[in-house]
Structure 1
Amino acid sequence: MSKLHLVFGGRVTDPRGLEFDDLDAIDIVGIFPDLESAEAAWRGAAQRTVDDAEMKYVVVHLHRLLEPDPHLQAPR
């Protein structure tokens, strides 16, 4: 299985948490095939907003969440 990672961010209601203020304004940086490239993308996005304490970027390990629903599988 691929080790996919999602990098996204946006304005949070509390800089200590992960509650995003406006889900319509989420910045999807991308999906990356490995942690190293995801971290590089995260670092770049976070550096662009370093002066804004209410902006937060995160890396989500998509491969840990992937468990296909058997009811949503294409027929063979």
Structure 2
Amino acid sequence: GIIPTDEAGIQKETVAGLKDRLEEAMAPFTRKGIAFKQLVEHSLLTPSCGLAGVQEEVAILALELLTGLSREMRKVYG
């Protein structure tokens, strides 16, 4: 999961920050020869854990961030 699960962490997050973190997390795999595009094509973007413990508007924000990250990754990597 890429989205923090605490309310403060979610509220501080940006799509650009998530994209940077995701690319950094995938770097060890690409250094081993796995194509980044292949990783992206076979990935599922999720929060780090469930969102049941946060307020509804924060859960909605987390899902909006995931949607934005998905759009950005598709725009950049196809």
Q: Return the TM-score normalized by structure 2.
A: 0.31
More strand by share: 1
Higher Cα Rg, which structure: 1
Higher relative contact order (CA 8 A, sep 6+): 2
